[in-house]
Structure 1
Amino acid sequence: MSENRAAQVEEYGWTAVSCDPKQRANTKPSTKPSVPQLVKDVPFPSTAVALAAIEYAKAELPTPTFNHSMRVFYYGLAIARQHFPEWKFSDETWLLTCLFHDIGTIPKYTPSVFMSFDLHGGLVALDALKQMGAPSPQAESVAEAIIRHQDPVQTGTIHAVGLLIQLATLFGG
């Protein structure tokens, strides 16, 4: 785990960014066009927590949902690296967010809870990731991103990973 709070903010994607799309668009004009990013060229996280999360997601999510989660992972990295390089987070934190972002939609949970899938999914992710050994600031970042991923407000701020999951899920359908 990172030693100080500032390092944790950066590693786990806690930097606050504006929810207002107009503010994001005005911060810097695009100076170069987007370029294709091949899946084979993207380093894949292979930590113990990442591997445990992949195993968990493959076991729990229906195949189409797991595949959607992986598309969101790759789309999100492309969006962040090419259009928001100032957003800092580890690829592992981003992968965990993607793998768990729809965990609340599985039949195991939908009939037994009344809260929305994103709220319940965030709580499931928080608990599962802590059990897998994820540091609390990382598990909390993932949980908050999941809880807010269907809440695209346009005022205030959200953490970078939270906004990225909102953007990437638009493309990962």
Structure 2
Amino acid sequence: MAVSATIPDCVPTDNISRLAYAYASTALHPAILNHSLRVFLYAKALADREISLWSSAPDRIALLFAACIYHDIGTCCGASSPQRFEVEGADKAATDLRSMNVSEDDVHEVWVAIAVHTSPHIAERISPLARLVRVAVLIDFKQSGSTDVMQFNTEAEVDANERAFPRLDAAKVLGDIVVEQAIRVPEKGRMASWAGVMVRAKREDPGWEGVNKGF
């Protein structure tokens, strides 16, 4: 993977982060790429507030960035696979991290964080990294469901992040891609999954053109 010539200042300078960004920046829809960068900014800021290793140890920051930038990578890889988009994304991250000689324990840590990021109450408790990614996603989509969301962000931080990385209708773009995949490959949208909930919402109101009602 070649490193992109233009790299946002927020991307950590380590090799793992730079290579992960290089792939994501060419593979992801621009709205989802911006969302993933904002998720990293929120996750890192939350880790900073908590004086966590995920904000102070360079190797942990690299893994945090990888988990955030890859958390929706399943929208652009494995589209024809029967696996859920979250698992496809986790598998792609694991493959790329192994190619960078990341330890299996750390690969597994990132895999879990990505695979469960749409699973409320599980992601928040299964591991510290998974919690950071999950809470940051909730913050970026302005969703409730975690006390961290209510205590965390200020309007100034949100405004700064959204100026740097505009929203570009991220919720609609992400929901539409996940639903399209699941309709084309039904195994990707099993009933109890996030994709399955959105497919059901789409079928109940096929004429709806806004953000999927199951998002």
Q: Same fold (TM over 0.5)?
A: yes
What is the one-letter code of the residue matched to 2:67?
Answer: T
Paired residue for 2:78? 109
| Mapped partners of 1:136, 1:124: distance in 2 | 14
- For the aligned residue pairs, the C-alpha RMSD in angstroms reads 2.2
Residue 59 of structure 1: aligned partner = 26
Q: CA deviation at 1:154?
A: 5.9
Counterpart among 34, 41, 50 of residue 74 in structure 1: 41
Contact 1:53–1:96 under 8 Å retained in 2: yes
- TM-score normalised to structure 1 length: 0.67
- Residue 88 (structure 1) shift: 2.4
- Could you list the per-position Cα deviations for residues 68-106 of structure 1 after superposition, in whole angstroms to 9, with x for gaps in the alignment? 110000011112222x33x42221111011111001112
Q: Verify the 8 A CA contact 1:100 1:146 in the aligned structure 2.
A: yes
Distance (Å, rounded) in 1 between the aligned partners of 2:126 and 2:82: 25
Asked if 1:165 is matched to 2:130, the reply is no
TM score, norm. by length of structure 2: 0.55
8 A contact 1:103–1:121 mirrored in 2:
yes
CA contact (8 A) 1:123 1:143 kept: yes
Q: Give the 4+ runs in structure 1 shifted more than 6 A.
A: none
Distance 1:92-1:152 versus aligned 2 partners, 3 A rule:
same
Aligned residues with identical type, % of pairs? 27
Instruction: State the aligned residue count.
Output: 129
Partners of 2:113 and 2:123 within 8 A in 1: no
Larger Rg: 2
- Pairing 1:88–2:53 present: yes
Q: CA deviation at 1:153?
A: 2.3
Residue-by-residue CA offset, 1:135-167 (whole Å, 9 max, x unaligned): 222222111100111111269941101011110
- The answer as to 2:107 corresponding to 1:142 is no
Output one character per residue of 1:20-73: Cα deviation in whole Å (capped at 9) or x when no partner: xxxxxxxxxxxxxxxxxxx97x6x421122111110111111111111110000
Assess, with a 3 A threshold, how the Cα gap between structure 1 residues 72 and 156 changes in structure 2: closer, same or farther. closer
Q: 1:156 to 1:138 in 2, by over 3 A?
A: closer
Structure with bigger helix share is: 2
Greater relative contact order (CA < 8 Å, ≥ 6 in sequence): 1
Cα pair distance change 1:66/1:154, threshold 3 Å: closer
Structure 2, unaligned stretches of length 5 or more? 1-7, 55-59, 142-215
Shift in alpha-carbon separation, 1:154–1:50, aligned structure 2, 3 A: closer
Q: Distance in 2 between matches of 1:155 and 1:164?
A: 9
Q: Is the 8 A contact 1:69 1:101 kept in 2?
A: yes
Instruction: Give the aligned residue type for 1:109.
Output: G
Q: Which amino acid in the other structure matches residue 125 of structure 1?
A: A
> Which residue pairs with 1:97 in the alignment?
67
Unaligned runs of at least 5 residues, structure 1: 1-38
